[in-house]
Structure 1
Amino acid sequence: MHQRILLRARKGPFDVLTAEETYERDWIGKNTGNLVFSHAAYKLLATATAEITPSRFRADPRDAGEINEKYDVFVIPLANAFRRDYADRLGSMTRLIERLKIPVVVLGVGAQTDVDGDREHLRPIDDAVRAFCRAVLDRSHSIGVRGEITEDYLRALGFSAVEQIGCPSMFLHGDSLRIEKAKAALGTEDRLAFVISPYVRALAPLVRHHHRRYPNLRYVAQDLYTLGTLLYGDVPKLRGKTDDLPIHTSHPLLVEDKVRMFMDPWPWMEYLSGFDFAFGTRIHGTITALISGTPGYLLAHDSRTLELARYFDIPHRLMRDVPADVDAAQLYEDADYTALNDGHKERFARITAFLAKHDLDLSFGDGNSAARFDEQVRRTVYPPAVRPASAYPAEDLLTRLQFLRDENRALQQKLKALRAQPLRERVKQAVGGRVRRMLRH
């Protein structure tokens, strides 16, 4: 079995970074949902003898020699990597994999198109996806995909070694997952978590309605843009702007301190465990609620969210079929978790078999390895949720300003050192940097 594992992850589950550091270096890969599935994959593989190293999302073909020497396997948890705006990064990953001599295992990759699985939308990336799949299957028994839409897509491209395994995030607790409604009906005073994508314009009337009706509503954000807004306010060109969605500091949810964002999955789950219901368009926001024991409901707006909801039997509706006046109480009443609960053990057995086929041990079958991982999580002190800046006392804001001042000083020193170099050296560095970026992309 493979022991020296290189895991595609922006950071490891015990890498503790402040919100300011997270924003400055983008330690969430644009979206904290990335951490939910990559850290769940880490836990699944964290046996007593495994040595797991996060890749930091680096995909440089020049690293292939070092990777071949230091690791036994490259495990790649992926989300919606088969999408048009990811083609360049998929190409970089492909060029790295083509130079690897070790096995490569893909966990839960998905295609992103509309909820009808429109193949024409994906056609511009067909060649990039074919190259990636060929490179992986030269080093792997099969490719693990999120659900039936991605499986159908890859089979249409000519690949048969494709297995539906869902997403590692739903298996954070192994084969143990059961969702029960604690209340017969949802009341207006109950705690409600909005897990929404702020770029989905159709959500605007839902935001307005639920903000008015549910005083204990909280918006649990996930994206890097919102993190920047919470930390430092609106970017200059958007100052003074308003919007029906919570994307500016002027929105009532920010003004009333009803927005939270977490830098790590563990405090995020603890927070959501105190809610009565979570709903919205974020698939990993919904999943994070579910693995916290909180009933969740997905409003599916594309194939990547829909196929995971179908695979795991997560209660859902298509966003295009959701009336503007829908109420969370109605969604709560409609939600049925029977199939999700009853099918979980079989789905866990499926991903267990997939990992075994690829010579990867599972922490849940390795004595107390999974429990030992959970204990390390409990001992780790993670940063608290980020709230709107207006909710913080002056001393906290001063600390944030000092961080910005230190960052600015460091940048000035780098610029000064660069200017002190001869022109020839500056050109060399600039050209070298450009070449490195081209190789990465």
Structure 2
Amino acid sequence: MQPSKNFKPFFLNSNLSFGRAGGDTVESLLHPAAGNSGNSYITYALVKTVLGDFAGLSHIANVYEYDFSSGRDAEFARAECTHVFLVLQDQIRIEESYGLRLPYENIVSFLKKCGKPVVIAGLGANSFGGFDPEFHKKLPPALVKFLREISGMCEKIGIRGEFTADVLAKLGISNFQIIGCPSFFETGPGRRVEKPPFGELNPVLTSPIVYRSGSVPAVMQDFLEKDLINLSVFGKFTEEIRLEDYRRAKRGNLGIFFNPEKWKTFLGKYNFALGPRVHGSIAAINAGLPAVCTNTDSRAAEMCAFLKIPRLADDSFVNYAAIPNARNFADFIKRAYEACDTETINAAYPKLFENYKNFITSQGLPFNSGKCANSGLLSDIEMRGPTLSLPAAVLKLSGLECKRLFRRLSRSAAKRLLKRKRS
């Protein structure tokens, strides 16, 4: 199918942030991305794929907070746009993250008012207990109805893997194609990753809470890292902050990004990535690093299996389990390195890329790859880095007293966390 000559997409739930990153709280900062900066990577990749330019992008950032009552954007999309991209992540689940719930009826109504072909790429199911053959029976009826309605508006839905395919098929939905995630393909067809010698490893973590060390760099994404985002972006200290966290932030070893180009630049200073974040692993791979994902949920399992992303799921420190000391961390790095198969991911990539290209072009959409104009319009989150300073009360303490204070705060935080878990 030939792409339309006057192609103009509208992105619903883009999770993109433009201009100055907003607010002075973690909630306001992450608002455009619906709580997770990694969500924006999907739309970023789609814009690169079908448009090649971020200037003048027509979009609604956060569908959870959008006021659907005016109808103005739907009228604009109907009059001015050729397609509507509904950007979803792993919302096929029993409960969504952060207590959110998609406004199913409003989304369906909006799409009907637009009256344009709907494109969905990267939708996934997520069962935190792993693959569950009865998972489709446990989904909320409103979600099932929503999935059936939006599938009827699409030529086909691009989904993340075999588990999602199984769930949709059991719901009577058959117009789908497994693609993985658009973000995996945003650098174009020639991508390769090379595994460095073990003795030359310079690792970066896809989440800092896996190992709390001042010397190990890491990327933050969502509310799980709220205290560290507060520290490194806003300079706010909470009782959860340790001395190692302060040192890590001050050395510039923490980052959070709305612009994947800045994200990849940060990751490019290192040569091996590991941790529980799936899109963190994808960003690292696109930056040229071998990466190992340590997440055990079905979303990670199916995407890693389909895209051949190396995964370590049978370890003591999977998901967000905290690694207690340097010796355990060194052993963990060794196990992750042994699990990292770059030959398989490199060999599989050309065919996977062509499959993704087929998904796009078979719907009459234009296909671009490589660089994208005006990505600099996306928000840049400034880190405090070397300018980060301790509160005045702490500065008056001696070095030993300072360490004791942070240790006491850490114990207090641990007690509260244990209490929450028990309740």
* TM-score bin, normalised by smaller chain: 0.7 to 0.9
State which of 91, 94, 117 in structure 1 corresponds to 2:108: 94
CA apart distance, 1:70:
2.8
Matched, 1:281 2:276: yes
1:250 matched residue in structure 2: 242
CA apart distance, 1:48:
8.1
Change (3 A) 1:229 1:94: farther
Amino acid corresponding to residue 185 of structure 1 in structure 2: F
Change (3 A) 1:386 1:233: closer
In 2, the alpha carbon distance for the partners of 1:128 and 1:176 equals 42
Q: Secondary structure at the match of 1:107?
A: strand
Q: Secondary structure at the match of 2:33?
A: coil
Amino acid corresponding to residue 77 of structure 2 in structure 1: I
On the 8 A contact 1:43/1:363 being kept in 2, the answer is yes
Identical columns (%): 21
Matched, 1:356 2:373: no
1:16 matched residue in structure 2: 19
Amino acid corresponding to residue 335 of structure 2 in structure 1: Q
1:221 matched residue in structure 2: 220
Residue segments in structure 2 that go unaligned for 5+ positions in a row = 392-423
Matched, 1:261 2:256: yes
State which of 63, 84, 97 in structure 1 corresponds to 2:94: 84
Alignment TM-score, normalising by the size of structure 1? 0.72
Change (3 A) 1:49 1:262: closer
Change (3 A) 1:130 1:179: same
On the 8 A contact 1:297/1:315 being kept in 2, the answer is yes
CA apart distance, 1:77:
2.8
On the 8 A contact 2:235/2:388 being kept in 1, the answer is no
Change (3 A) 1:38 1:186: farther
In 2, the alpha carbon distance for the partners of 1:143 and 1:178 equals 27
On the 8 A contact 2:232/2:388 being kept in 1, the answer is no
Matched, 1:167 2:181: yes
In 2, the alpha carbon distance for the partners of 1:194 and 1:50 equals 32
On the 8 A contact 1:230/1:389 being kept in 2, the answer is no
In 1, the alpha carbon distance for the partners of 2:132 and 2:365 equals 34
In 1, the alpha carbon distance for the partners of 2:341 and 2:16 equals 34
On the 8 A contact 2:268/2:288 being kept in 1, the answer is yes
Change (3 A) 1:50 1:75: farther
In 1, the alpha carbon distance for the partners of 2:46 and 2:86 equals 9
Residue by residue over 1:172-210, the C-alpha shift from the partner in whole angstroms, topping out at 9 and shown as x without a partner, is 1121210001x32145xx432111284xxxx4xxx26xx
Residue by residue over 1:4-50, the C-alpha shift from the partner in whole angstroms, topping out at 9 and shown as x without a partner, is 2011344557x232364784352332111112221111110115899
State which of 40, 45, 50 in structure 2 corresponds to 1:45: 50
Change (3 A) 1:260 1:154: same
CA apart distance, 1:61:
6.6
2:8 matched residue in structure 1: 4
In 1, the alpha carbon distance for the partners of 2:50 and 2:381 equals 27
In 1, the alpha carbon distance for the partners of 2:315 and 2:92 equals 23
CA apart distance, 1:169:
0.5
CA apart distance, 1:131:
1.9
In 2, the alpha carbon distance for the partners of 1:256 and 1:51 equals 37
Q: Secondary structure at the match of 1:217?
A: coil
Residue by residue over 1:305-329, the C-alpha shift from the partner in whole angstroms, topping out at 9 and shown as x without a partner, is 1111111101102156658744213
Q: Secondary structure at the match of 2:158?
A: strand
Matched, 1:194 2:214: no
Q: Secondary structure at the match of 2:198?
A: coil
In 2, the alpha carbon distance for the partners of 1:341 and 1:154 equals 29
1:184 matched residue in structure 2: 197
2:267 matched residue in structure 1: 272
Change (3 A) 1:65 1:53: closer
Residue by residue over 1:114-144, the C-alpha shift from the partner in whole angstroms, topping out at 9 and shown as x without a partner, is 3532255554435233322322232221111
1:70 matched residue in structure 2: 80
Residue by residue over 1:238-282, the C-alpha shift from the partner in whole angstroms, topping out at 9 and shown as x without a partner, is x43xxxxxxx32251334434222332111101101102110000
Residue segments in structure 1 that go unaligned for 5+ positions in a row = 241-247, 365-369, 395-441
Amino acid corresponding to residue 85 of structure 1 in structure 2: E
Q: Secondary structure at the match of 2:190?
A: coil
Q: Which moved more, 1:92-101 or 1:30-39?
A: 92-101
2:292 matched residue in structure 1: 297
In 2, the alpha carbon distance for the partners of 1:169 and 1:32 equals 13
Amino acid corresponding to residue 228 of structure 1 in structure 2: N
Q: Secondary structure at the match of 2:294?
A: strand
Matched, 1:145 2:148: no
Amino acid corresponding to residue 178 of structure 1 in structure 2: R
2:142 matched residue in structure 1: 128
In 2, the alpha carbon distance for the partners of 1:168 and 1:84 equals 24
Alignment TM-score, normalising by the size of structure 2? 0.75
2:406 matched residue in structure 1: none
In 2, the alpha carbon distance for the partners of 1:19 and 1:220 equals 19
Describe how 1:382-401 pairs up with structure 2 within 5 A: 383=380, 385-387=382-384, 391=388
